[in-house]
Chain A
Amino acid sequence: MRAKPWGTEAELLARLRAGDETAFAALVADLHGRLVGLAGTFTSSPPLAEDIVQETWLAVIRGLGAFEGRSSLRTWVFSILVRRARTMAVREARRGIPVTGSESRNGDGFVEWSPGLGRIGLWEETPIPWGFEDPAAIHQSREALEVVRIALAGLPVAKRQVVLLRDVEDVTARDVCNILDLSETNQRVLLHRGRARIRRALDRYVREGARPPSPTGADGTSPLTMPELDVAFNEVAGPKHGSGTTSGGTP
């Protein structure tokens, strides 16, 4: 993890409890944008997302004294946000403000993977290696990361929340379950489903230069040149195996 200006989390917490406003300012600087991102998964209304974050911070300020440190500070703050967001989003939904439903965007033709189903819902055609000489080529490519960002933003809500917390924010799987109030099994399934869709978007991008449609409906529909990947992507590296053998489909 990144080095924090205040050293360990215990030190930070002690300073927060002592009313140290520079520690609090550092906490806000670190978490505010992340909270806005997480709040944005609960509502498509940016002002409501801001309200959720504001309420979360007020609850954090009031609750610091009673916080026992059983979870990490960040997990605690995320949990507060999720509780607030659920309450506030429901309240706002009654007044007609759009709320993202649990799996509201599921009508996109994907078959959902579940444990025991094998490759169904994960891949139709045998996966072909991307052929990067350097595995870091993907995450060093700004364009590939943009593909990932758009694909993440386009995930149905429950998957997006799990992937955002586990893979983007690096929250432990156990804490993801606690924050979102999910069973361990549900968390695993949602995580694999979400990752599978993002892998699919990356696969299309790497092999065809295609970007996923942006959920905002703006840019992102036209294939772009990919100078970074042209260098890194070696087209002949992957043998095109198994047109007849549907490996992954047979028990």
Chain B
Amino acid sequence: MNCYEAIDLMGDAIEGTLSPEDREGLDDHFAECPACRTYMDQLRLTCQALGHLPGPGETGDPRADLIAKFKQEFRNRG
């Protein structure tokens, strides 16, 4: 496997959807290409960091107007 093929498989590697053959080919490539290996490692760390971004947090005060609308909708149906 060359760098071009390896790079195109990196997204699937992160998804965990590589075929066993591709997984093996990619690992072989990483063993001989530190650049791709480092890039892949950093891409994973990037994804992890994105997954740890502080979320908007739960809205402490659920919107009273929306809940009123919700109740009204079900009253109309009922």
Contacts and interface: CB of A to CB of B under 8 A. Distances in A.
Interface stretch (A79-87, A99-107, A120-128): A120-128
B3 A61 contact: no
Nearest to B41: A129
Given A247-B3, A248-B35, 5 more contacts: A115-B8, A117-B4, A119-B3, A140-B52, A195-B46
A199 B59 contact: no
Main secondary structure of the interface of A (DSSP, over half): helix
A21 B63 CA distance: 11
A48 B12 CA distance: 36
A241 B53 contact: no
A198 B53 CA distance: 13
Interface string B6-47: 011011000100000000000000000111101101110111
Contacts of B78: 19
Contact of B62 (A29, A36, A195, A248): A29
Nearest to B34: A241
Closest 4 CB pairs of A and B: A33-B56, A19-B74, A167-B50, A139-B52
B49 to A, nearest CB: 5
Contacts of A198: 46, 49-50
Main secondary structure of the interface of B (DSSP, over half): helix
B59 to A, nearest CB: 5
Contacts of A57: 63, 66, 69
- Which residue, A28, A122, A170, has most C-beta atoms of chain B within 10 A? A28
16 contacts: A21-B67, A32-B63, A33-B58, A36-B56, A118-B4, A119-B7, A119-B39, A123-B35, A129-B41, A135-B45, A140-B52, A167-B51, A188-B11, A203-B42, A247-B3, A247-B36
B68 to A, nearest CB: 9
A248 B11 contact: no
A180 to B, nearest CB: 16
Interface of A: 19, 21, 24-26, 28-30, 32-34, 36-37, 54, 57-58, 61-62, 65, 115-119, 122-123, 126-130, 132, 135-136, 138-140, 144-145, 148-149, 152, 163, 167-168, 170, 173, 188, 191-192, 195-196, 198-199, 202-203, 238-239, 241-242, 247-251
Contact of B56 (A21, A37, A62): A37
Contacts of B56: 32-34, 36-37
B18 to A, nearest CB: 13
B4 A28 contact: no
Nearest to B66: A57
Contacts of A117: 4
A185 to B, nearest CB: 11
Contacts of B77: 19, 65
